[in-house]
Amino acid sequence: MNAVPHEPGLREACLARLQAELHTLPDKPEETPESTLAALWHAAAGRPVSAEIAPTLPLPRLDAAGAQRLQALVDQRLAGAPLAHITRRQRFMGLEMLAGPQALIPRRETELLARRAFALLARRDRGAGAPLVLDACTGSGNVAAALAALVPSARVLASDLSEDAVALAHENLVHLGLAERVALRAGDLLAAFDDPAFVGRVDLLTCNPPYISAPRRGTMADEIAAHEPSLAFDGGPLGVSILMRLIREAPRFLKPGGWLAFEVGAGQGTPMRKRLLASGDWSEVSTDADEHGEIRVLSAQRA
């Protein structure tokens, strides 16, 4: 094999291009020119890993064809293709997830939701039996997979309106060895769970719903708007249509003392908290903020 471990100048030239031309998004802080190059390098070698893991690994040897693949991948990234779509990998809650255009790329902010959901399950009485967990708007299945991995006793079901997203979620569960742990369904919000087996029986209902308003969708970066599914963002004219439905419909599925936990967009936390408190369906409402102090997750206990 014509091996060129670090073909003279290849790493330096690619890194210089990325440093000069790469535009990264604030919701993907793990992506830097250095981590991007490492992830693309591993992908060119046929060993794809996420941008979070790639910089921790030694760069594999590239032959001449691999070097050409690397430069083509750099071209794709600089043309606006999301890194996670190029590598098909995105790290979430310690899991190496598969990513693709069928569903939203898992974001760091959604780990707030997964961590809160795990904390709520950890609070349950150990003698209460296996918890029943529903994850709506599951997308790539990231929250459902994380909870199944963290709480082996949980019975987890997940759904999405998009058949393409459900297919990607299934692929992810197989990839992670969790296909026997999470059952997938297709349906609009909670419609997939409208069954006597779930009504009034759920311990935890999680959701990362679409919450971007129509005006904001028009200002989204091309990397998002041109490559990720609009269905995953469209929260209606004001961005709260699905959130309002979730708050209305969730109590029917939760058992007394069960929890609803969901993600909201910037600026939506306070009004959604007020809506929860005004409904009379909840005995406790709490919030989780991101590193900027912005409420991004709400959790509410069924009265």
7 within some domain: yes
Please tell me whether residues 68 and 181 are part of one structural domain.
no
Specify whether the backbone of 280 is left (phi greater than 0), alpha (psi in -120 to 50) or beta: left
Mean of pLDDT values over 234-242: 90
Cα–Cα nearest to 241, from 218, 273, 276, 213: 213
First-to-last CA distance in the chain?
67
Cα–Cα nearest to 142, from 164, 110, 167: 110
Mean of pLDDT values over 169-176: 98
Please tell me whether residues 13 and 139 are part of one structural domain.
no
Count other Cβ atoms within 10 Å, centred on residue 50.
24
pLDDT tens-digit readout, 33-44: 999 999 999 999
CATH of the domain at 193: 3.40.50.150
Q: For the chain, how many structural domains are there in total?
A: 2
95 within some domain: no
Give the per-residue pLDDT at 219. 87
282 within some domain: yes
Please tell me whether residues 146 and 73 are part of one structural domain.
no
Please tell me whether residues 61 and 199 are part of one structural domain.
no
Give the per-residue pLDDT at 8. 63
Interatomic CA distance for residues 204 and 297, integer angstroms: 14
Interatomic CA distance for residues 102 and 228, integer angstroms: 7
Query: Which of residues 87, 111, 137 is at a domain's end?
Result: 87
DSSP reduced 3-state for 63: strand
Please tell me whether residues 193 and 55 are part of one structural domain.
no
Interatomic CA distance for residues 116 and 287, integer angstroms: 9
Mean pLDDT of the chain: 94
Looking at the predicted structure, is the pLDDT value of residue 2 above 60? Answer: no
Residue 120 structural domain = 100-302
Please tell me whether residues 80 and 108 are part of one structural domain.
no
Looking at the predicted structure, is the pLDDT value of residue 200 above 50? Answer: yes
DSSP for residue 81: -
94 within some domain: no
Give the per-residue pLDDT at 6. 52
Please tell me whether residues 122 and 35 are part of one structural domain.
no
92 within some domain: no
CA dihedral 70, 43, 167, 244 (to 10 degrees): -80
Looking at the predicted structure, is the pLDDT value of residue 1 above 70? Answer: no
DSSP for residue 143: H
Please tell me whether residues 80 and 161 are part of one structural domain.
no
Please tell me whether residues 117 and 57 are part of one structural domain.
no
286 within some domain: yes
Query: Which of residues 43, 63, 87 is at a domain's end?
Result: 87
Interatomic CA distance for residues 146 and 171, integer angstroms: 15
Give the per-residue pLDDT at 128. 78
Query: Contact at 8 Å (CB) between 3 and 63?
Result: yes
Interatomic CA distance for residues 55 and 35, integer angstroms: 5
Residue carrying the six token digits 């790469």: 22
Q: Which residues contact 237 (CB under 8 A, 6 or more apart)?
A: 213, 214
Cα–Cα distances (Å) from 135 to 42, 57, 263, 271, in that order, read 32, 33, 12, 23
Cα–Cα nearest to 53, from 71, 62, 41: 41
Please tell me whether residues 83 and 133 are part of one structural domain.
no
Please tell me whether residues 147 and 277 are part of one structural domain.
yes
Interatomic CA distance for residues 296 and 161, integer angstroms: 22
pLDDT band at 190 (very low <50, low <70, confident <90, very high): very high
Query: Contact at 8 Å (CB) between 210 and 233?
Result: yes
Residue carrying the six token digits 């102090």: 293
Interatomic CA distance for residues 255 and 242, integer angstroms: 22
